[in-house]
A and B are shown apart, each in its own frame.
Chain A
Amino acid sequence: MSMENQPAANFNEDGFLKEISAWNRGLAQQLAADNNIGPLTDDHWKVIEFIKDYYKTYQAGPAVIKISKATGLSLAKICDLFPCGVVKGGYRLAGLPRPPGCA
């Protein structure tokens, strides 16, 4: 993983952002490149923005079917957008911390 443009201190050991307040679009772009996601399309941004806003309200990430419903994108489409999974891909790009448990 190359994080040369960003201080490594911003990320925890799984490569997730430590603080969502540090998030910006450029950072999401870079995380996408580092994780072989993208190039980021409008659909990507729809998912990322939804996850980020949901997290700001509830301090937790939304369920995948909730994302599907809110964005109008099918689960298959979301899987295509984030091949490594919604948590590893979507949550990460939206600046969320990884849910630490089994989920």
Chain B
Amino acid sequence: MVETMEKAKAAAKEAPLAPEKVKETVVEAVKAIKAGPRALTMYMEMCAKCGTCAAVCPVYYGKSDKRYNPVLRSDRIRRIYKKYCTALGKAFGSLAGAEDFDAADIKEWVAEFYECTGCRRCATFCPFGIDNSVITRKGRAIIDKLGLTPATMKRVVDISLKTGNTDNASPEAFKEAINFLKEEMAEEHGTKIDIPIDKKGAEYFYVPPSGDVLVNPEATMGIAKIFHVLAMTDQWTMSSTCFDGANYGLFTGNDTDMKNENKRYVDEAKRLGVKTLLMGECGHAHRVMKMMMEKAKWWGQLPFEITNCMQWTADHIRRGRLKFDKSKNPQPVTYHDPCNFARSCGITEEPREIMAASCADFREMYPNRAENWCCGGGAGLSAMDDLREFRMTVSGVKKLEQIRETGAKYVAAACSNCKRQLTQLMEHYKEDIEVGGVHDMLSRAIIIGGKAANRKDYKK
């Protein structure tokens, strides 16, 4: 019985929507752009087709195929907009770049809008400042409305809404992972370093990136060690129910999902009564909190501030409160600017200050900061295993070249999304380059009680 129901459900899921219905949904959504934010209507009307975006796009760089050209991707929506929303388009049709939607194209829509990494490099170089990632997000929103969001992406949103984290992990799993980190730190430094959990009235609430506590735990140890050195261990906390700032609603274009995923974290910060929400090394989580939720006042006036852990740490380094033994990190290291931090939030110097303070041989890749090339896995693509081949052989090609040129043996990325993509790139191209975070290196070099961690070299 259950099986029959599941089969029916699966069949319903696979059954194509009636073409008329698809067309109606798409056209209505595109028409709604006219009454929406002014930026997007400008993007619809202003493109001069100069091709600058294609020249600076990591995807088009990887493979100069027409379908990877940002203009042509965005034109899928722009053409319909012109037909229904502009006087010229209505009067002159295709002569004015207007064209109606053909429901037969919907498969290509899904494929193409999930081939943009949303890195916004195009927006940096476009003479009009057209941000194709906004158009991509609109395209994905329409796809989501049609129920056609790729399963590998949809699953992450569903799990995140259900459990509050994208790893499907329970509070027990989180607590066990934290206990393990405490044991590690005690071994490394011969002293007890605590990680408070669910502590009401703490000043800081640290929200790590997706998977950090469970899979890449060194950054969390770094944060705990800083609080320890500053004698502020009693002033911070993590949460056993909110330990992953990721927000995949940003990536599927579904605003309701994005806000629901975000609200849980804001509510938790309020419940804990903290003064500062300390966001971890996750680019899009920080961006949604700081540049979207806070700025647009989704939940009104907030009783707390939002800052990123890299800004917080860099400030303590500038004030001379943290000391490091750089000899613990002798290998050449480089920093990959995650698009969401560098281009979208202007956080570029702080990670460099932390790396420079804790590593002996820091090297830049070029170009960098706001002009940095995307890792090739942005906008959630990194979590999609079905796109691995594309990410390795198309969108990630430029990043690989950049990293190789530095000669670095460790590349830090302050973003789990980038880390996953970069790790897979190194595997795919058999490069012996470690991928990790910024606070990971800090954790290895920070001096506690006169010396840095006696760290077991797990590599040997």
**Residues in chain A within 8 A of chain B (CB atoms):** 13-14, 57-66, 68, 74-76, 83-85, 87, 97-103
Are A61 and B170 in contact, with the CB atoms below 8 A?
no
Are A60 and B167 in contact, with the CB atoms below 8 A?
yes
Are A99 and B459 in contact, with the CB atoms below 8 A?
no
- Residues in chain B near residue A87, CB distance under 8 A: 215
Distance (Å) between the CB of B279 and the closest chain A CB?
A: 15
- Can you name 5 A-B pairs with beta carbons within 8 Å? A14-B386, A99-B166, A101-B156, A103-B210, A103-B214
Are A101 and B427 in contact, with the CB atoms below 8 A?
no
Task: Judge whether B39 is part of the interface by a CB distance below 8 angstroms.
Answer: no
- Residues in chain A near residue B217, CB distance under 8 A: 63, 65
Interface residues on B, range: 35 or more
Nearest to A16 among chain B residues (CB) is: B385
Contact of B244 among A13, A63, A101 (CB under 8 A): A101
- A25 to B365 alpha-carbon distance, docked (Å): 46
Nearest to A88 among chain B residues (CB) is: B385
Q: Chain B 290-326, CB within 8 Å of chain A: the 1/0 string?
A: 0000000000000000000000000000000000000
Task: Judge whether B172 is part of the interface by a CB distance below 8 angstroms.
Answer: yes
**Residues in chain B within 8 A of chain A (CB atoms):** 151-152, 155-156, 159-160, 165-170, 172-173, 176-177, 180, 184, 209-212, 214-217, 244, 246, 248, 282, 382-383, 385-386, 415-417, 419-420, 423, 427, 458-460
- A63 to B213 alpha-carbon distance, docked (Å): 8
Are A103 and B460 in contact, with the CB atoms below 8 A?
no
Distance (Å) between the CB of A79 and the closest chain B CB?
A: 9
Contact of A101 among B166, B176, B423 (CB under 8 A): B166
Nearest to B215 among chain A residues (CB) is: A103
- A59 to B177 alpha-carbon distance, docked (Å): 12
- A99 to B246 alpha-carbon distance, docked (Å): 13
- Residues in chain B near residue A14, CB distance under 8 A: 152, 385-386
Chain A CB within 10 Å, residue with most, of B168, B216, B419, B427: B168
A13-B386, A99-B166, A101-B160 are known contacts; what are 11 more A-B pairs with Cβ within 8 Å? A13-B385, A14-B152, A14-B385, A58-B176, A59-B172, A60-B214, A66-B180, A74-B460, A75-B458, A85-B427, A101-B246
Are A102 and B246 in contact, with the CB atoms below 8 A?
yes
